[in-house]
Homo-oligomer: A and B are copies of this chain.
C-alpha cells in the first residue's frame, strides 16, 4: 500500500459538502457556506485567523471561534485537513489536496512535497517499527535551497 490511502470521499464543491453535512445531521448555515467557499477558492495553507478575515469580509459578524468549530466539523467529515508548518498556527486546506509539507527553519517558507517522496520513509518506518506515517499532517522542518545557498556563502566568507 502506497502512502496515499483512500479518501473517505472527495466532494467537488460547496454544495456537495453541505449536502454531506446535512446527511450527517448538521445544518447548512451561512457561515459554513462562506467558509467553504473560501476553502474551495485559490490558495492553500490558510490559518484559521486568515480564513476568519476572509469570511468576515463577507459576513463581518462571524466569530473566530465559529471558524474553529466549523473547521473541526469539516475535518471530522473528511472534507478539510490541517497541517502544522513549523512553530506557527495550524493551516487548513481541502482534504483533496494531498501533499506533504516542508518548512524552512530559516526563512519560514513552506514547500509542498509530492507524497511519493515520502514512500521511502514510509516503507523504512513500517518495516522497522510497524509504524504507519501520515505525511500530510506534519511539516518536515529543514532548510530550503535558497537558505542553504545563502548560509553556505556566509560560512565560506
Q: What residues make up the interface of A, taking CB atoms closer than 8 Å to B?
A: 84, 102, 104-105, 111, 113-114, 116-118, 120-121, 123-125, 128-135, 137-145, 148
Chain B residues in 8 Å Cβ range of A145: 129-131
- Please give the distance in Å from A145's CB to the nearest CB on chain B: 3
CB of A74 to closest CB in B, whole Å: 18
CB distance from A112 to the nearest CB of B (A): 9
Cβ contact within 8 Å between A117 and B125 = yes
| Cβ contact within 8 Å between B137 and A143 | no
CA separation between A111 and B125, bound complex, in Å?
A: 11
Task: Assess whether B120 is in contact with A124, with CB atoms less than 8 Å apart.
Answer: yes
User: Are B131's CB and A111's CB within 8 A?
Assistant: yes
Chain B residues whose CB sits within 8 angstroms of the CB of A104 once the complex forms: 131
Q: B148 to A141, Cβ gap below 8 A?
A: no
List residues of chain B with CB within 8 A of the CB of A139. Answer: 138
Residue of B whose beta carbon sits closest to that of A127: B117
B131 near A137 with CB under 8 A, answer no
Known: A117-B125, A131-B143. 18 other contacts (CB 8 A): A102-B131, A102-B133, A105-B137, A111-B129, A117-B121, A125-B140, A125-B142, A130-B145, A131-B144, A131-B145, A132-B142, A132-B148, A134-B142, A134-B143, A135-B140, A137-B141, A138-B138, A140-B140
